[in-house]
Structure 1
Amino acid sequence: MPVNNGGNLSKEYFKSYLNLIMVANMCTMEEAKEYMFEQFFKGNKDTFGEYSYYQFLQVTEG
């Protein structure tokens, strides 16, 4: 899924992406969260900026 580094990613984006990971890999939300952090964010919360990472946390932490 291509991402523009200059854009802020929304909660809806992360909900959809995490759901796709869970369905494709038949895994839990926690496993999808770990996978997405390592693969999407490349293990660095600053990869797509503070706002996008905050939105990711909002989805994964409640």
Structure 2
Amino acid sequence: MEKLEEQIAHLTRTLEELNEVVARQDSEIAVLTRRVHMLMEREATRESEGGGGIVMGDERPPHY
């Protein structure tokens, strides 16, 4: 009986730890999703304003 109680206690602790990890990951995913959405909106605005990174004539690209 003691062995079963020890296993139940261990499994309960493991379950609580996993629950904390999943809750933290859920909030991190929500933050990252908002950031990606914001960046997509920013890029869409930038493209609609015509700043699409077109190289004119002898102009070097920005990575040079």
The answer to whether TM tops 0.5 is no
Compare relative contact order (CA 8 Å, sep 6+) and give the higher one, 1 or 2. Answer: 1
Write 1 or 2 for the structure with the bigger share of helix: 2
Shorter-chain TM band = under 0.3
User: Which has more radius of gyration?
Assistant: 2
